[in-house]
Structure 1
Amino acid sequence: MERPIETFRGETFFNNDLLLYVNRTSEDFNVPLHNHDFIEFTYIAEGGGFHHIGTEVHAVRNGQLFYIPIGTSHVFRPVSSDLSKHPLIVYNCVFSQRLLMKLGEFASDTAIREFISSINEGSVSSFSLFDAGDSFEKLFIQLHREFSLPREGSGDYLYILLFQLLIIVYRTKKESGFPISPTSRTYNLTAFEQLLTYLEQNLAEDLSLRGLSRISRWSERHLQRLFKQHTEQTFNRYLQSIRIRRSCELLRTTSYKISTIAEMSGYKDISSFLAVFKRNVGATPSAYRKSVSL
């Protein structure tokens, strides 16, 4: 005999007038097939498994985002019960229709406002998207951190992060669902954004305009024009700025040696790193680390 589908209620999750709930959890076989009276975004953070939704079953893997509307029955399952070998770790962000109505009123862009309205009206079916860069992952990490460690203004900040997630979901969904001609300006902009993501994810590598030209199949001259147009910097200046930004992040959040951080940021020569860092930040890496740890 099949177990009945359970209904999860928002009142269980929403506390202190906060119309949103975020968690990071390891999926298992204990959570029942369920539906809910709230809206849900789920991001697969680690591992893989299966998503049982309605009458269908889909394999899932790291980097996927799922939208589950109100009333849709679903559950995530890992590959096996041995979670140490086969984990399925997800971020869940659930929120009420009332919150979505507030965010819809805030939206000034017609397309975003209509997208939010269609979700609120229940006319958007469940869907999944793949995080081609790391935009979804970064937002879910921020959402979880702000929810888990609340401070002054955390409620408003969480709502802003959700609004940002809705915009990125809309953009990704549109780009995934409507192929664009490779000659169009929109295609060029999307492909260039992917190239910027590639740079950020490979800062430790030997990056050059020539190498990016081979990857993108754009000429070096055209790439240089795109950098000037969309970043208002040359390629070399832009690359230097994101490498220094990454090194600052590592200095703030890790205890790695400065030489290690230099390599992770793409500087093979420590002297060059020290000179560029001081010129851009106005302090040595050691002094910067000390100032932000006070």
Structure 2
Amino acid sequence: MFIFQYTLSGQGMIRMEDQTYSLKAGQAFLVEVPSDHEYYFPQDSDHWEFLYIALHGDHVGDCWSFVKQTMGVIPTIEADAPVIRYLFRIYQEIAKKRITDGFQAAGTTYQFITELYREAKIKQANVGHWPVCVRLAVQLIESDYQTLAGLEDLANQVSVSKYHLARLFHQHTGTTVVQYLTKIRVKKAVALLLESNYTIEKIAELVGYNNGKYFTKIFKELVGLSPGRYKKNYDMITVDHLFSETN
């Protein structure tokens, strides 16, 4: 049996053998049961909201091996990606008691694995041709957006000059490092705005900004609305569409 878990908001932790990973909104994992792992609620987290599904069959392990190869051990998946939308659908169907026998459950599991594999294939098609330093840079931005200081910090972590990274990153992603980092931070901020009662100052801190005023300025430049007005007028389905010109 395997457990797939997807974090909706807050923060959790998972230990897999001798490696420990932080789990934030948009991040997933899959583990085999039994295996040497444990996931838990860390003391410095105020909440952890997630969805999970238990999966059976050898094909699950094969699929996850491909996912890890293309997306990493703790992949980041957008909340409106088809595989996550399908996971929500499964939850709703179970809540309404519409999945009532093993045949329905098996079909649902197969469809979920298919969607997960498709997500990995899309990711592979998009980034498979990128240079290693660019792929590493994107992974670091998506996982360490809270603490990254900018282009020079990122270049040091992927062991290339900032000029080389800036040129290759823009060439292959169509955007600059700073623009991509800002996009990720604002996406994370949108999720926090809609899924928590944090103040603007707290959200700014959680996504990597030193003060709420600067964060509000950046947010309004990208979104067209202040964080407060966005929370009142939009919902999560719009998050990806905000950045369609830079994707």
Question: After superposition, what is the alpha-carbon deviation per residue over 1:145-201, rounded to whole angstroms, capped at 9, x for unaligned?
Answer: 3311249xxx9x9977533422466799x9xxxxxxxxxx95854553332122122
* Deviation of the 1:92 alpha carbon: 2.0
Cα 1:163–1:126 shift into 2, 3 Å: closer
Partners of 2:164 and 2:121 in 1: how far apart? 29
Aligned-partner residue type, residue 203 of structure 1: Y
Partner of 1:76, secondary structure, is coil
Question: After superposition, what is the alpha-carbon deviation per residue over 1:106-159, rounded to whole angstroms, capped at 9, x for unaligned?
Answer: xxxxxxxxxxxxx69xxx7996975434247978865543311249xxx9x997
Partners of 2:151 and 2:63 in 1: how far apart? 42
Cα 1:291–1:133 shift into 2, 3 Å: same
Partner of 1:132, secondary structure, is coil
Cα 1:149–1:257 shift into 2, 3 Å: same
Structure 1 residue aligned with 2:116, among 165, 174, 180? 165
Matched, 1:134 2:48: no
Aligned-partner residue type, residue 73 of structure 2: A
Structure 1 residue aligned with 2:90, among 136, 147, 157? 147
* Deviation of the 1:270 alpha carbon: 2.0
* Deviation of the 1:286 alpha carbon: 0.8
Partner of 1:207, secondary structure, is coil
* Deviation of the 1:215 alpha carbon: 0.9
* Deviation of the 1:283 alpha carbon: 1.1
Greater helix content: 2
Residue 103 of structure 1: aligned partner: none
Partners of 1:77 and 1:271 in 2: how far apart? 46
Partners of 1:239 and 1:264 in 2: how far apart? 14
Matched, 1:210 2:152: yes
State how 1:185-224 maps to structure 2 within 5 Å. 189-224=131-166
Partner of 2:34, secondary structure, is strand
Partners of 1:264 and 1:226 in 2: how far apart? 29
Structure 1 residue aligned with 2:218, among 242, 253, 276? 276
Aligned-partner residue type, residue 149 of structure 1: Q
Cα 1:78–1:91 shift into 2, 3 Å: farther
Partners of 2:78 and 2:183 in 1: how far apart? 22
Partners of 1:258 and 1:161 in 2: how far apart? 36
Aligned-partner residue type, residue 55 of structure 2: C
Show structure 2 runs of 5+ residues with no match. 7-12, 22-27, 42-50, 96-103, 236-247
Residue 92 of structure 1: aligned partner: 54
Show structure 1 runs of 5+ residues with no match. 1-39, 50-57, 68-74, 98-118, 175-184
Cα 1:166–1:283 shift into 2, 3 Å: same
Instruction: Check whether the contact 2:192–2:203 (CA below 8 A) recurs between aligned residues.
Output: yes
Instruction: Check whether the contact 1:43–1:90 (CA below 8 A) recurs between aligned residues.
Output: yes
Structure 2 residue aligned with 1:266, among 201, 208, 227? 208
Aligned-partner residue type, residue 93 of structure 1: L
Provide TM-score, normalisation by structure 2.
0.57
* Deviation of the 1:241 alpha carbon: 1.6
Instruction: Let me know the Cα RMSD of the aligned residues.
Output: 4.9
Partners of 1:246 and 1:48 in 2: how far apart? 24
Cα 1:161–1:220 shift into 2, 3 Å: farther
Aligned-partner residue type, residue 214 of structure 1: N
Cα 1:92–1:136 shift into 2, 3 Å: farther
Partner of 1:92, secondary structure, is strand
State how 1:42-191 maps to structure 2 within 5 Å. 42-43=3-4, 65=30, 76=34, 91-94=53-56, 131-135=72-76, 143-150=86-93, 162-167=113-118, 189-191=131-133
Question: After superposition, what is the alpha-carbon deviation per residue over 1:225-261, rounded to whole angstroms, capped at 9, x for unaligned?
Answer: 2221232111122222221111111111111111101
Partners of 2:161 and 2:112 in 1: how far apart? 37
Question: How many residues align structurally?
Answer: 194
Cα 1:143–1:93 shift into 2, 3 Å: farther
Larger Rg: 1
Partners of 2:37 and 2:216 in 1: how far apart? 47
